[in-house]
Amino acid sequence: MDVSFNWLAIALAALSSFVIGGLWYSVLFARPWQRAAGVTDEQLTRGTARVFIGSAILAIVMAISLAAFIGPNGPGFGVFAGFATGATFVAAAFGVNYLFERRSLLLFAINGSYNVVTFTVMGAIIGLMQ
């Protein structure tokens, strides 16, 4: 099995998760997400470097894994693979965890849909460039 990576595509895909997350958790759903997650404004000001460094590392890991899965199959498959990954792996796994943790449907909808959108965009970027 020969897997090659377009590192620019991986970097852009990882960066896209920050752009989408910035919009998702501020402009679009900041207050509903904070209430549902039980996160205060004060909590959001602490540990920021750790959150962003850790998130960057994990976004790169996600993009590399998605790129290996997509391979040279093009943008159509990239979008499909990204959507399927976000919806059936990530969001579904969140759903199981949230059910056992007795978390709200609203929190699941916000976080799950963020991952569906993010992985779909990441898949499109990788599919177009790889």
Give which of 111, 13, 113 is closest to 59, Cα–Cα: 13
Chain segment 8-20, per-residue pLDDT in tens: 999 999 999 999 9
The structure's pTM equals 0.95
Q: Residue 3 has what pLDDT?
A: 79
Give which of 60, 73, 84 is closest to 10, Cα–Cα: 60
Is the predicted pLDDT of residue 1 greater than 80, yes or no? no
Chain segment 36-59, per-residue pLDDT in tens: 999 999 999 999 999 999 999 999
pLDDT band at 98 (very low <50, low <70, confident <90, very high): very high
Residue 107 structure tokens? 């929190």
Q: How far apart are CA 16 and CA 12, in angstroms?
A: 6
Give which of 108, 91, 92, 78 is closest to 16, Cα–Cα: 78
Q: Which residue has the tokens 């919009």?
A: 23
Q: How far apart are CA 81 and CA 68, in angstroms?
A: 11
